[in-house]
Amino acid sequence: MTETVIGIGGAAESTDMVLNIGPQHPSTHGVLRLRLVLDGERIVSAEPVIGYMHRGAEKLFEARDYRQIIMLANRHDWLSAFSNELGVVMAVERMLGMEVPERAVWLRTLLAELNRVLNHLMFLGSYPLELGGITPMFYAFREREELQAVMEEVSGGRMHYMFNRVGGLKEDIPLGWPERVRTALARVRERMPDYDGLILGNEIFRGRTRDVGVLSARAVHAYGVSGPIARASGVDFDLRRDEPYLAYGELQDVLRVVTREEGDCLARFECLLDQTHNSLDLAEACLGHLAELPPGPVNQRLPKVLKAPEGHTYAWTENPLGLNGYYLVSKGEKTPYRLKLRSASFNNIQALTELLPGTLVADMVAILGSLFFVVGDIDK
């Protein structure tokens, strides 16, 4: 919408233009709308308009028992399904005071890191695509297929694994599966240098991303931004190191928290790429420890009707895109009285109101893509 005002003497004076970006079709990254106010080619203000994919998951949690809510929690970030499940079962286990078998703890850590690599590979391929480079997407899906094959073998699902259970995992791993994971990891690791040469070594990519969309550490704290986006702005925080859960407390010599100081689009991409390398290291370390563990159970026996005691708890995890938390309130019934989800993308996308003003429309796609969000994770 453009408004033109005729001034004194017949001269035309243009006012700001209001431009709607989206909402787009669901077969894209998801349905997000940006309401931009432009002064020529420069953005004056930006408002993310969300809610087009809202499924009311938090309300549906209240009508499902503790086994069924795993399915709902699985889906808000469809690239991080295993990690989503993990947060909700950890909250229920904490309410029950339940100890998870050691093999399940290490298997959960391994699968969480494989899921992290799968998530990051999608953005490592799709971000250059949004800037005009199609080849990295083919590379990313080649690597994703290697890892998705082993994830599908162990869980039965390609995207929505449904492998976590309160008390552990659904079942034990197939015979010979760890060796097949090692082979998949080796193949992915062998090809990772391609991304350095193809993307980071590309002067056009660097020109489109360096010093573009700079997010300050102050803004990170103000908006509750987390994950690789926050660490690219120099905020050195990672739950896996700072409040260890699962087996991360025993992996501190392998875990490397990747940070940058620049806070621009390039720094965010570099953090994502370096974190992918480290997740491959963590997965290999988990495989090595699992090989030394004696055979044993991967879950706890549960009553037919599972009820959490009255009370409340908060469980959070370092999901691939940032902090994911569940605030669980129980009245002693088989369903949650309240289950509030804190998703990473919801907070991260709010930073657009600070990132976009003052930038050019031509840089809008580069900035938007560098926030690495999933719209279902925003709308829940």
pLDDT digits 0-9 by tens, 276-300: 999 999 999 999 999 999 999 999 9
- Beta carbons of 21 and 33 less than 8 angstroms apart: yes
Question: What's this model's pTM, rounded to 2 decimal places?
Answer: 0.92
Instruction: Locate 201 and state its tokens.
Output: 């070594």
Q: How far, in Å, CA of 330 to CA of 312, rounded?
A: 6
**Virtual torsion, Cα 306, 308, 313, 317, nearest 10 deg:** -10
How sure is the predictor about 29, in pLDDT bands with cuts at 50, 70 and 90?
A: low
Question: Does the pLDDT value for residue 9 go beyond 60?
Answer: no
- Beta carbons of 286 and 258 less than 8 angstroms apart: no
Q: Check residue 2 and give its pLDDT.
A: 43
Q: How far, in Å, CA of 345 to CA of 224, rounded?
A: 10
How sure is the predictor about 6, in pLDDT bands with cuts at 50, 70 and 90?
A: very low
Give the residue with greater pLDDT, 234 vs 55: 234
Question: Does the pLDDT value for residue 39 go beyond 80?
Answer: yes
- Average the pLDDT over each of 14-18, 125-129, 359-363 and give the range with the smallest value: 14-18
Q: Check residue 53 and give its pLDDT.
A: 84
Question: Does the pLDDT value for residue 266 go beyond 80?
Answer: yes
Residue with tokens 């690791």, as numbered in its chain: 189
- Average the pLDDT over each of 97-101, 153-157, 195-199, 316-320 and give the range with the smallest value: 195-199
Question: Does the pLDDT value for residue 320 go beyond 90?
Answer: yes
pLDDT digits (tens, 9 = 90+) for 351-372: 999 999 999 998 999 999 999 9
How sure is the predictor about 31, in pLDDT bands with cuts at 50, 70 and 90?
A: confident
| Exposure string over 1-13, b if 16+ CB within 10 A, otherwise e | eeeeeeeeeeeee
Question: Does the pLDDT value for residue 343 go beyond 90?
Answer: yes
| Exposure string over 230-241, b if 16+ CB within 10 A, otherwise e | bbbbbbebbbbb
| 324: β partners | 317
Backbone φ, ψ for residue 377 (5° rounding): -75, -25
DSSP SS3 for 5: strand
Question: Does the pLDDT value for residue 25 go beyond 80?
Answer: no
**What does pLDDT average to over the chain?**
91
Give the residue with greater pLDDT, 138 vs 5: 138
| 13: β partners | 5
- Beta carbons of 75 and 137 less than 8 angstroms apart: no
Strands (E), the chain: 4-6, 12-14, 17-21, 33-39, 42-49, 164-165, 168-169, 311-319, 322-330, 338-342
pLDDT more than 90, % of the chain? 80
Question: Does the pLDDT value for residue 188 go beyond 70?
Answer: yes
Question: Does the pLDDT value for residue 174 go beyond 50?
Answer: yes
